[in-house]
Every structure is written in C-alpha cells, then in structure tokens.
C-alpha cells in the first residue's frame, strides 16, 4: 500500500480541573495368519484400535483362507502409506468362487470403519441360512463405515457384496460395488426385512451387479431406511424386479443417476422396474435421473420406474424417461421434472473424471440448459466437484465467464474445482470459480490465492504456473491433484510445471505424474530461477527419468515444510533422484518432512540426489529419510546413495533421522562425492549393507551429538572425511574393517544400551510419519539444544537441555525430582531421568526438605502434565520486584503449590488467589496488622448497597464497621480480586493450594446507580500468566470476554500506583487489543466494566494460560501493527500516556476492545484522546484504519496542578517513512513534527 504522505495531526487542548494415543496394530505380512498378519492384528486389537499396513511393493494383496470376524470397534486403513503406497487388497483364495466371505462384523454397539481398500469375496450362495449372507461383508450388528472402498467379484444368496440385517447401521461413501452377484436378492447390497438401521450412500457407484431375484444393484426389504445422495447405479441386472433398485421401506434419493439397468434380465416373465421398482413404503426423490433402463436383456423396452405400492414424494427437478403407474399420483408429476424425454448428453458408459469412483458424465444436451436446471442443497457432485450457478470460468484458458446451471443427477456439468480467495467460502458470490486449476492460474493476477476443492481432481495435462500465486488445498487427505487414472497406469504428463518466483503450494497431495522414460520431475518440475515453497504437501506415486517426485533445475530455490515425498521412481541413464533431484540449485530447505520409499532404479539417489549447488546448498532439519532404494551395478554411480546422494554440493543436516535405506552399492544412508556436509543431532543407522555413510570425496564436519553406525571411505579415514566428534555416538569410529562390535563415544568409550529406533514409520503425531525412539535408547538426552530448532519433526517441544538425537524427541512417561545440586527447577541434573520437564511429562516431587525442594524462579517458567507433590513435598513459585514465576499444569495436580507475590510497602496492590486456596484468611500466613494507620485488606463489591450507597469497598481486615474483622469467615474466591496494602515493609505474600487446571469463572455485575456502575475487580486464578490481548494469543482474555464489557471500556485496567498518590484514574494501566502482546501475571487482579445489567458469568479458560514473567504484565516484542505512544510528564514525576494504533479493519469510530476509554475521576495528570468520529468519551487507547487518509486526533490533558508539562512521542513502532506525525498546541498554535523532534 502506498501511504502518499499521510499525516496524523494531534490537536492539543489544555484544561484545568479540581476534580481506573491407543496401542494400534501394523500389518507387515500378507500371509493368511501368524505374526504381522491382518488376521493376527484383528485378534490382538483392543476396542477402538486402528490397523494400518506396511506392505512392500508386490505384496499388497492379502489372501485369506477363512473369513475374518470382527467383534470390536476397529478402524482398518488400507492406504499402506508407510509401505509401497499402493492400497491393500484383501481377498479370498479365488474371488467369486471360494466358499467364504472376507469380513463378518457382528459386534453389538461397535463401530467398524474400513477405508482405502479393495475387498474381493467368494461365492457363498450355496451355504445355508445366514452363512450365505454377504459375499464380501456380512453386517449383523453395530455400525459399519466404508470410505474409498471397492467391493467386487463376490457372490452370496443375499447381498452379493454386502448384507445388512437387524438394526445395523451402514455408511458408504466414495466407494464402488461392482460385479457382485446374488442367488436371491441384492446383487450388490441386501438390506433385510425389518432392518431398522440406516443405510447411507454418498458419492458411490454400483455397477455390473446382478441378482437371480430382485434388486440387481440394491434390494431393501420391508421397514428399511436408505438415503442415497450423489451416487450412480449403472448396468445392474436382476432376473426379477428392480434392475437398479427395489425398496419396500423408506427411501430418499437426491442427485442420483440410475441408468442402463435391466429387470427381467433372463427374459422369463416380463418383470418390471429396470431402473427403480417401488414395491412399497415411502420414497422421496429430487434432482435424480432415472433413464435408459430396460425390461429384458435387450434395449427395446424402456422401463425406468415402476410403482407397485406406497407413497411417492416427488420433490421435483427429476428426469424420468418412462414410468409405469396406475394413477397419476403414483408417479412423477412435478412441474419442474423432465418426463418422457431422453436425457441427451448423458454418457452411455462409466468413465473416471475425478473424485474416487467412475461416473456417468454429462457432456451437453438437454440436461445442461437453463430450462432443465436442477435445484440443490448438495454443494458438490459425486466427484466432489462444486455445483455452481451463474458465471464461471471454463477450461484451461478462459477469457470470460460462461453461464452455468445445476445439473440433475450425480454428475455436475462443468463442475468447479478452484476459486480465487476473495471470500474464504465456496458459497460466496464474490469469488471467481473455475472448472480447471490451469484456468484459475491463467486468469488470476500475481499475488492471488487459488483455493482447490477437497477431492481428487483429475488433470489431463500438466499445470503450468508462470506467476507468483498460492495454490491452497483443503488438506493432504482431501485435495489430491492427480494425472493417473486409477487402474489405468496413468498418462504421460507431470502434475505441476513451475516457472515463476514466489509460488506456494500447500495442503494437498500431488499424485501419479508419469514421465517414465523421458523428461524430468514426474510430480513437480521447478524451472531455472524459480522459487517454490511446499507446505503440508504430499508428493506420491510419480515417475520420471530424473526426479520422480520433484526436479529442481538450476539457480532456483525450493522449500519443503511438513511434506511427505514417497513412492516415486526415477529411472534413466545418468539420471537420479527417485524422490527429489536437485541440480545446481541456489538452495533447498527440507523441514519437518519425510522422504520415504522412493526408488532410483538402475541409478543413484533413491531419496534425494543433489549436485552442483549454485548457492547455499541443501538444509535438512527435523526430517526423516527412510526406506528409499538405489539399484544398479555401480556403473555411472548406479546403486549409490539410497537416502541422500551428494555431489559437489553444500549440505547441512540437523536433528534428522536417516535409516532403513537400501543401496545395492555404497552409501545406504548418505553417499558423499565432493560435497561439503555438516551434520548435528542426527541419526544415521540401520541402512543397507552396514554402510550408513560412504565417503568418496569432499569434506564432512561432524558437529557432534550424532549417532552413526557404519561409515566407509574410498581411501583412508581422516577427521575431515568421517565422523569423529567426541560427543557423537559411533559404532566403527576410525575403522573400515567393521571389527568393532559395540557403540562408543568420546573415541572408544563404550556406550551401554541400544539405539531402540523403530524400524517402521508410524503416525506418532504431527503432519508426517516418523520413526519413534523407545525407552532405553542411548540417543535420549544425548543431543545438544539448538535455539533455532525448538520442536521435533512432529511439533513436540525439544528439551532445552540434552534433547534426543534425531527427528523424534523422546517423551518421558515420568520424571521425578532428585535434587542434590540445587533447588532450581530448570537444572536438568535435579531430575531423574536427567531432563527438563515438558508439558507432556508426569512429574513427581517426593518428600524432601523445603531447602532441597524445587523452586521456579521469579523469571522462570515451567510446564508439566500431571503434577504429584507427595506428602511432605514442596514446590514454590518465587516472586520479587522483577516478576513472578509461571507454572502450567496440563494434567491432574495432586498436592499444594506455594505461590509467592512480592508487594512493595505503602502502596495498594490488586491481588487474587493463584490456586485453590483452602481455609479462611485468618489461617493463611498473611501477617496483616489491622488498625487505622496499619495494613489494609479490602474487597470491592459493585452491587453492595450500604444505606443507599451502592458500590463499596469492604474492609476485610478491620471489618465493615471498623470493629468486626471478617478474616476468620472469608477466604479467597476463585477469579475474585482484592486490594491489599502493607504499610511498613515490603512483603512477599506466600499462599498455597492445588493449581486450577480446569476452566474457572466469576459473576460480574452491573447495578444501576452504583458509584462505579459496572466496574468489577477480578483476578487471574491460575499459577501461570495468562494472555491478556489478541496480540498475545488468539485465546486471550480479551478475545474471550470483550463482548461482555461496556463497548467504550472493553479493556483491562490494572492498578499501578504513582507517586503523589491520590487514588484516581492516573493510577491505572490499560491493556487493549491495540496494544502489543501483554500478559497478566500470576496473582494479579484488575478492573473490568460489565456491559449488561444484572449478573454475567465471566470465564477464565485454561487456554488463556501463556508464559510471561513480570510483576504486573509482560510486553512482547513489537508486532506488525503500526503504533505510537504519546506521553506527558511534569517536573514532579507524574506521568501518563495514550496509545494511537493503525490496524487493518479498524474504523474512525468506536472499535470494541481496540478503543479503550479513559477511566473517570479526579486526576493528578490525565492524558486522553477523542475518536475521530467523536462520541463524547475520552480514550486512552485508540485504533484507526491503516493509513487510509489524513487523521486529525484531538488530545486533551486534565491536571490538578499548574506547571510545566512535557509531551513526548515515547515509542514509535513501524510508522512508515512517508507518514508524518505532527503535534499542534492549540493554545499557542505551535506545530512539532514528532518524527523529527519527539519532545514538546
């Protein structure tokens, strides 16, 4: 934004006045039974477990010899991400013939969820009774969820694919049931009579299924309940009624396509309802196509809808080509239907066009006209493409909009997959919408954001990005941009071609690029001088000569953060980089990412191949490189460097794990050929052929704190070629013969224990898969802390002292206070094991003397999960003039924590109870001395009425009447504030109690005619600081509560007594959302002003707890807001200031919680401003729009005593150079440029 020499004029007026995680299972074998098999995983799983798969290439099909019974709640995810990346198939020995099914789900009240899997059952139709139900799955009880599942080639008596009985509930989404058959009813699905549970089907296709009796696709018996949305029933056949669907229960269809189905397929008796046979019950139908269905095996007799009995609710916008009914009200008759008409443009065969299933496309014809437009409450079609009406941009290079209409049926003609980000909503009319990602890229301007739909988006040609834009998906599991058609092997195209700077791609998966045998970068090609950032992106299953997943070529910059690159392949003479190929790049940063299971076939660099850096080289931080393969016979370097291959390139690796990679030649983990490599806090172990690091040429800087198993050298070992730091843990230090048989550090000092690094990637939290470190590993607490790497790959906090080596930070289950060296909580030597506690750790403090017990210093912070202070144990949070310590307990506390609060003498302080303090004030060690001229202790009651005077300070120490103290009958109330004054000496008040770890609240009041109407004294109840305003944290006190406060005083008012105390508004500090990030200290109370009459509950939520140590509040570093503080001070030291801030979204009028009113009352010295759109209130904080105009802000000063007063621009933060700030004295007409002379 250009500021165009904006100015702010402060107009001065002087006035005189006399007058405030579960134990989940991983399948590693495709055998029928035994360790690591699916059968054993189901047996071993407990209720609620998840079963995932780690099956290698070629082993993704599991053949079972008998059915798998499931009686517990289970999630079975067949994506096989940590394996080959190819989804799992579970099948019987001979699909469609073996006399047993795959799954039998019978757990009452249990939920089974199966996803990303193909299931092929047998033919059990010859069995008797319920043994003959459900050729692939039989569901008799509980709930079954099927997501992205294919059920095929199975047969049964009832329900060739799936049979549902009793009150079981089933949800099917993004799935296909194909080529299943039933000897009786329900070729794909049979929903048995009186099955009272709900069957919900969305975004799914039923095709090629058949039945001897009724319901070639779906047969639903009496009293059943089915809802089908955005789905297709195609080419299903029955020998009796209902080729596509028959129902005798409750049915709802919305945006369904029923086409090319056949009843009476054996041409035996003229049974009807080729598409939909309505046997009985109720049916509600809208936006649905029932057309091109037939009676008999041929296509001469149209038979789309047949009515037998029941109630049809025709909600219009349906297409019904033919119907057979006795009376008019039995059929479709709504005005907006398209009846007795062939839906031209509806495809005659299924194709893949995005999403997760095949569909019947609509290409043109009468379904796309305005006259035949549908109406919808469904935002997307079967593919997950958006249904949009009005002007949209169609194709790869749109120059203008095309008018679009809602398409009836499952498929949306010209469905939308992209939008610009003017308004962050797919329903907004303010955005531009696009049918192709390329069309969006070509149409938007540089700097724009393109949002993608949360589905699998099929592209026909690579997406070329030639300008600085952001492409943002809905998440890696939701938005998949792919070239390959499932099951077809793909097309010859990459996915993204980047030829621009400033390009960001985030929150999506890039899949299936195929340039095998030619060209570079199957997933992404980054052209010379390009700059690309990938955030939360998966690049999977792509192929190319060079750089199967990514190829970055010459003088470019590539950044990966929270990414996964896996299942990619490179293959070609002199080519490399199965996952990534970096050739002569300026720089490449890989952060919090996993590069795994990529293959360099007959070449080198399975995971990463990098050569000839033209700049800063490669940096790998908090990342895992695992399971990559380099094959070859050694010619031209083939078979070298499975994990990373480096040639003439700078490479820095920190806090990473390189493990489980396999090279047919040298360098299973790293191969160094002329590179300059620097490594710290990294594990390189468990790679192939006892060859974790191979040195051919170049240099290595071992910065220490590494774990390296085997290293080999083309020549003799030297300190610049191999790992040799005394702080690294090595297996064959200075030894090429592999003669050593134990781990050692400090040059031949034996290290006990083992590495205990998982051999399998897993979801251990965070956005990427990692390799976990388990108890007893010598990598635990063996690293060194790097202030630039404060978390591990998952986002878990790194220990500030002696973190774990590698990408994964080990979390201790329990840490106990050992003491001995000091009482300092932050000293690692005081804890057992030796580590500083984190928020995930369970802490025990035993019975030790108070002198030996832990102390959190006045500037210290501490975190833990559960806190147990045993009987006789102590924990103290200290306080002094510099501040108060802070402790956040995330879990369950047991035992009392002593919290100190330092109070300067002869000054009033607002305090609160910092823990659940039990007992009345008299039993607490407060050491108050009552009397007229002695210590004072009060509480404020806004609604208290004493003799007609509403709003009063209540004297607790001396009693309301000066004689009857209430110290023995009152105690601290959570969240309530108190006012205290120790007259003669400074006091460190010590109060003990169990920390609050749940949300707390207090009632605030607003009472008409109160002396301080609406003002309440409340306090921080936690033994940690809390975030005061939005700049401190999104869950701050003001973000949670500002709506409860008076609009003009929707801020925090802290008492801060000045010199020459009068007890008035000058003694308050204000915190608003215009301010820098600020925090409320432990034990600090403050004033707020209630908005609503009567009583309002005000919450203090645990998510407000954020660390910051100070006596009153803590300032953060300045943020991105432009602001300045104007102060005034006299020669007696009286001081006051106001804040003017400039922020996006603000107005010239009242901005609640950003504009803070000045407290009323007699002043010593009171500086204030008035709003540009003056509302008659004085303000101490004022927020204005971000330099959209010239501003004239009136400033006033109320003072008690005449004298010399100095005005100063105390702080100026991020005021642009071309914005000027002038101060004008209206009495003298003197004008001062505060950016040149800050004092007047």
Asked if residues 512 and 538 have their Cβ atoms less than 8 Å apart, the reply is no
pLDDT digits (tens, 9 = 90+) for 127-150: 999 999 999 999 999 999 999 999
In this prediction, residue 1239 carries a pLDDT of: 84
For residue 829, the model assigns a pLDDT of 87
Position 1168 scores a pLDDT of 86
pLDDT tens digits, one per residue of 161-196: 999 999 999 999 999 999 999 999 999 999 998 777
Residue 458 predicted with pLDDT over 90: yes
Question: pLDDT tens digits, residue range 1071-1117?
Answer: 999 888 999 999 999 999 999 999 999 999 999 999 975 544 444 44
Tens digits of residue pLDDT in 591-629: 999 999 999 999 999 999 999 876 778 999 999 999 999
Residues 115-137 have a mean pLDDT of 97
* Structure-token match 């993204």, residue found: 496
> Rounded to whole angstroms, how far apart are CA atoms 359 and 575?
39
Local structure of residue 43 (DSSP, 8 states):
H
Rg (CA), the chain: 36
Query: Which residues, 6+ apart, have CB-to-CB distance to 935 below 8 Å?
Result: 928, 929, 957, 980, 981, 982, 983
pLDDT band (50, 70, 90) for residue 1199: confident
Q: How far apart are CA 484 and CA 1021, in angstroms?
A: 58
The full DSSP string for 607-659 is SEEEE--SSSEEEEES-EEES-EE-S-SGGGTT--SSEEEES-EEEEES-EEE
Q: Which residues does residue 845 pair with via DSSP β-bridges, in sequence order?
A: 869
pLDDT tens per residue across span 642-671: 999 999 999 999 999 999 999 999 999 999
Q: Residue 232, Cα to own-chain centre: how many angstroms?
A: 33
- Are 79 and 87 spatial neighbours (Cβ–Cβ below 8 Å)? yes
- For residue 1060, the model assigns a pLDDT of 59
pLDDT single digits (tens) 723-735:
989 999 998 765 5
* pLDDT mean over 13-25: 43
Give the pLDDT mean for 744-756. 86
Residue 819: per-residue pLDDT:
86
The predicted structure's pLDDT at residue 952: 87
Bridge partners for 814 per DSSP = 842
- Nearest to 471, CA basis, from 444, 511, 499, 435: 444
Rounded average pLDDT over 533-548: 96
Q: What are 1068's strand-pairing partners?
A: 1055
> How far, in Å, are 350, 358, 360 from residue 382 at the CA level?
13, 9, 10
- Give dist(CA 719, CA 723) in Å, integer: 7
Residue 1202 near residue 16, CB atoms below 8 Å: yes
Residue 99, classed as helix, strand or coil, is coil
pLDDT band of residue 3 (cuts 50, 70, 90) is very low
d(CA 262, CA 258): 11
Q: pLDDT: is 309 or 1158 the higher one?
A: 309
1038: enclosing H helix or E strand:
helix 1037-1041
Distances (CA, A) of 300 to 269, 293, 589: 16, 10, 65
For the ranges 216-220, 245-249, 506-510, 823-827, the lowest mean pLDDT is seen at 823-827
The pLDDT of residue 673 is above 70:
yes
Structure tokens at 32: 């029928």
Provide mean pLDDT across the span 771-787: 94
Per-residue confidence at 675, pLDDT binned at 50, 70, 90?
very high
> What pLDDT, on the 0 to 100 scale, is given for residue 736?
52
Residue 1198 is predicted with a pLDDT of 85
Does the pLDDT at position 199 exceed 70? yes
**Segment 1130-1156, tens digit of pLDDT:** 887 778 888 888 878 788 888 887 887
Contacts for 975 with CB less than 8 Å, ≥ 6 apart: 912, 1000, 1001, 1002, 1018, 1019, 1021, 1098, 1100
Residues 301, 306, 308: CA angle, nearest 5 degrees: 140
Pairing of strands 977-981, 936-946: antiparallel
* Lowest mean pLDDT, pick from 110-119, 555-564, 909-918: 909-918
Residue-level pLDDT at 1127: 85
Count CB atoms within 10 A of the CB of residue 196.
12
- Amino acid 13: pLDDT: 37
Answer yes or no: is pLDDT of 721 > 90: no
Any idea which of 231-235, 358-362, 516-520, 876-880 has the lowest mean pLDDT?
516-520
How buried is residue 1086: exposed, middle or buried, by Cβ count under 10 Å (0-12/13-18/19+)?
Answer: buried
**What is the mean predicted confidence (pLDDT) over 1053-1064?**
71
Q: Is the distance from CB of 607 to CB of 644 less than 8 angstroms?
A: yes
Instruction: Name every residue whose Cβ is closer than 8 Å to that of residue 1019 and which is 6 or more positions away in sequence.
Output: 910, 911, 912, 913, 975, 976, 977, 978, 1083, 1084, 1085, 1086
- Among the ranges given (323-337, 895-909, 1199-1213), the one the predictor scored with the smallest mean pLDDT: 1199-1213
- Look at residue 367 and give its three-state secondary structure: helix
Residue 15 has pLDDT above 60, yes or no: no
pLDDT score for 429: 86
Q: What is the per-residue pLDDT across 1125-1134, written as a single tens digit (0 to 9) for each?
A: 888 888 877 7
**pLDDT per residue over 48-65, tens digit each?**
999 999 999 899 999 999
- pLDDT one-digit tens code per residue, 463-498: 999 999 999 999 999 999 998 665 454 567 899 999
Over 80: is that where the pLDDT of 809 sits? yes
More confident residue, 56 or 680: 680
User: Which pLDDT score is estimated for 856?
Assistant: 96
The answer on pLDDT for 1067 being more than 50 is yes
Residues 998-1018, mean pLDDT to the nearest whole number: 92
Task: Answer for the pair 400, 430: CB distance below 8 angstroms, yes or no.
Answer: no
Is pLDDT of 7 > 60? no
pLDDT at 800: 80
Please report, rounded to a whole number, the percentage of residues in the chain having pLDDT higher than 90. 69
Average pLDDT, the chain: 90
More confident site: 158 or 1218: 158
pLDDT of amino acid 6: 39
pLDDT (0 to 100) of residue 1011 = 76
Among 17-26, 379-388, 919-928, which range has the highest average pLDDT? 379-388
Quick one: pLDDT at residue 1237? Answer: 84
Q: What is the pLDDT of residue 784?
A: 95
């Amino acid at each position: 934004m250009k500021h165009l020499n904006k100015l702010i004029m402060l107009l001065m007026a002087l006035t005189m006045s006399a007058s405030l995680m579960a134990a989940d299972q991983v399948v590693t074998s495709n055998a029928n039974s035994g360790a690591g098999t699916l059968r054993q995983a189901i047996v071993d799983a407990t209720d609620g477990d998840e079963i995932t798969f780690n099956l290698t290439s070629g082993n993704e099909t599991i053949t079972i010899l008998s059915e798998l019974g499931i009686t517990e709640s289970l999630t079975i995810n067949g994506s096989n991400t940590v394996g080959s990346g190819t989804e799992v198939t579970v099948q019987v020995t001979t699909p469609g013939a073996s006399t047993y099914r795959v799954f039998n789900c019978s757990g009452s009240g249990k939920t089974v969820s199966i996803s990303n899997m193909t299931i092929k059952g047998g033919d059990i139709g010859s069995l008797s009774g319920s043994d003959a139900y459900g050729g692939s799955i039989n569901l008799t009880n509980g709930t079954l969820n099927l997501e992205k599942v294919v059920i095929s080639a199975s047969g049964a008596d009832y329900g060739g694919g799936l049979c549902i009985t009793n009150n079981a509930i089933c949800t099917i989404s993004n799935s296909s049931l194909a080529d299943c058959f039933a000897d009786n009813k329900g070729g794909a699905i049979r929903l048995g009579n009186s099955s009272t549970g709900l069957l919900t089907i969305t975004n799914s296709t039923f095709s090629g299924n058949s039945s001897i009796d009724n319901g070639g696709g779906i047969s639903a018996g009496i009293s059943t309940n089915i809802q089908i949305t955005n789905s297709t029933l195609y080419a299903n056949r029955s020998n009796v009624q209902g080729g596509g669907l028959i129902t005798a229960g409750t049915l709802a269809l919305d945006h369904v396509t029923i086409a090319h189905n056949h009843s009476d397929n054996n041409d035996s008796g003229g049974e009807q309802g080729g598409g939909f046979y309505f046997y009985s019950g109720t049916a509600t139908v809208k936006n649905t196509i029932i057309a091109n269905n037939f009676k008999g095996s041929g296509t001469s007799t149209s038979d789309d809808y047949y009515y037998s009995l029941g109630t049809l609710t025709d909600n219009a916008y349906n297409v019904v080509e033919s119907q057979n009914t006795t009376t008019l009200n039995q059929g479709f008759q709504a005005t907006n239907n398209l009846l007795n008409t062939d839906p031209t443009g509806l495809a005659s065969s299924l194709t893949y066009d995005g999403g997760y299933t095949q569909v019947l496309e609509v290409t043109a014809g009468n379904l796309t006209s305005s006259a035949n437009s549908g109406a919808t409450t469904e935002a997307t079609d079967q593919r997950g493409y958006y249904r949009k009406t009005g002007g949209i941009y169609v194709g790869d290079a749109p120059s203008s909009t095309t008018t679009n209409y809602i398409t009836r049926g499952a498929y949306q003609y010209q469905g939308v997959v992209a939008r610009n980000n003017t308004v962050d909503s797919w329903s907004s009319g303010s955005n531009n919408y696009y049918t192709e990602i390329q069309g969006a890229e070509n149409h938007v301007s540089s700097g724009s954001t393109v949002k993608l739909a949360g589905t699998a988006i099929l592209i026909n040609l690579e997406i070329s990005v030639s300008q600085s834009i952001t492409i943002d998906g809905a998440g890696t599991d939701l938005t998949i941009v792919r070239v390959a058609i499932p099951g077809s092997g793909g097309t010859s195209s990459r996915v993204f071609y980047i030829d621009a700077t400033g390009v960001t791609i985030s929150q999506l998966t890039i899949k299936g690029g195929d340039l095998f045998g030619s060209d570079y970068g199957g997933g992404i090609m980054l052209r010379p001088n390009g700059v690309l950032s990938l955030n939360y992106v998966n690049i999977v299953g792509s192929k190319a000569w060079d750089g199967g997943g990514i190829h970055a070529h010459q003088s470019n910059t590539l950044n990966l953060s929270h990414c996964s690159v896996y299942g990619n392949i490179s293959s070609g003479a002199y080519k490399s980089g199965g996952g990534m190929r970096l050739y002569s790049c300026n720089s490449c940063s890989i952060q919090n990412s996993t590069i795994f299971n990529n293959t360099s076939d007959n070449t080198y660099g399975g995971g990463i191949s990098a050569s000839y850096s033209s700049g800063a080289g490669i940096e790998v931080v908090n990342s895992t490189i695992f399971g990559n393969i380099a094959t070859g016979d050694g010619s031209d370097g083939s078979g070298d460097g499975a994990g990373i291959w480096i040639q003439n390139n700078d490479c820095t690796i920190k806090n990473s794990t390189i493990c489980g990679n396999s090279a047919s030649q040298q360098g299973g983990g790293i191969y160094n050929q002329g590179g300059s490599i620097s490594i710290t806090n990294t594990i390189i172990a468990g790679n192939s052929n006892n060859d974790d690091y191979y040195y051919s040429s170049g240099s290595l800087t071992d910065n220490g704190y590494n774990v390296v198993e085997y290293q080999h050298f083309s020549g003799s070992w030297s300190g610049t070629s191999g790992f040799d730091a005394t702080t690294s843990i090595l297996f064959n230090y200075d030894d090429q013969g592999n003669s050593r048989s134990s781990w050692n550090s400090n040059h031949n000092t034996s290290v006990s224990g083992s590495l205990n690094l998982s051999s399998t990637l897993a979801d251990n939290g965070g956005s990427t898969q990692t390799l976990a470190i388990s108890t007893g590993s010598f990598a635990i607490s063996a690293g060194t802390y790097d202030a630039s790497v404060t978390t591990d790959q998952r986002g878990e906090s790194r220990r500030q002292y002696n973190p774990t080596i590698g990408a994964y930070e080990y979390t201790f289950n329990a840490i106990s206070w050992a003491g001995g060296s000091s009482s300092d909580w932050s000293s690692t030597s005081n804890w057992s094991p030796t580590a500083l506690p984190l928020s995930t750790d369970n802490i025990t403090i035993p019975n030790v003397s108070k002198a030996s017990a832990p102390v959190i210093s006045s500037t210290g912070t501490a975190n833990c999960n559960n806190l147990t202070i045993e009987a006789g144990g102590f924990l103290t949070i200290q306080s002094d003039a510099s501040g108060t310590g802070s402790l956040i307990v995330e879990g369950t506390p047991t035992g009392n924590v002593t919290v100190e609060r330092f109070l300067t003498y002869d000054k009033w302080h607002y305090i609160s109870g910092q823990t659940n303090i039990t007992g009345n004030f008299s039993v607490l060690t407060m050491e108050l001395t009552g009397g007229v001229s002695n210590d004072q202790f009060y509480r404020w009651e806004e609604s208290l009425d004493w003799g007609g005077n509403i709003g009063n300070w209540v004297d607790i120490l001396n009693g309301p009447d000066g004689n009857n103290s209430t110290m023995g009958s009152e105690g601290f109330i959570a969240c309530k504030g108190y006012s205290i004054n120790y007259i003669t000496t400074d006091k460190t008040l010590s109060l003990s109690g169990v920390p609050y770890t749940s949300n707390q609240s207090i009632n605030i009041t607003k009472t008409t005619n109160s002396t301080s109407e609406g003002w309440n004294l409340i306090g921080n109840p936690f033994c940690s600081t809390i975030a005061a305003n939005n700049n401190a944290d999104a869950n701050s006190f003001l973000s949670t509560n500002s709506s409860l406060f008076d609009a003009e005083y929707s801020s925090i008012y802290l008492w801060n007594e000045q010199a020459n105390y009068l007890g008035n508004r000058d003694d308050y500090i204000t915190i608003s959302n215009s301010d820098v990030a600020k925090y409320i200290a432990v034990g600090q109370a403050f004033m707020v002003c209630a908005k609503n009459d009567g009583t309002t509950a005000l919450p203090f939520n645990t998510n407000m707890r954020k660390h910051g140590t100070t006596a009153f509040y803590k300032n953060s570093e300045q943020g991105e807001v432009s602001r300045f503080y104007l102060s005034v001070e006299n020669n007696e030291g009286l001081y006051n200031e106001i804040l003017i801030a400039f922020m996006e979204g603000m107005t010239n009028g009242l901005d609640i919680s950003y504009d803070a009113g000045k407290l009323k009352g007699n002043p010593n010295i009171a500086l204030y401003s008035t709003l540009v759109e003056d509302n008659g209130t004085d303000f101490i904080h004022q927020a204005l729009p971000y330099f959209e105009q010239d501003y004239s802000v009136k400033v006033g000063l109320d003072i008690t005593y005449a004298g010399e007063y100095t005005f100063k621009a105390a702080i100026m933060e991020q005021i642009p150079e071309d914005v000027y700030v002038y101060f004008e004295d209206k009495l003298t007409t003197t004008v001062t440029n505060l950016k040149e002379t800050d004092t007047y």
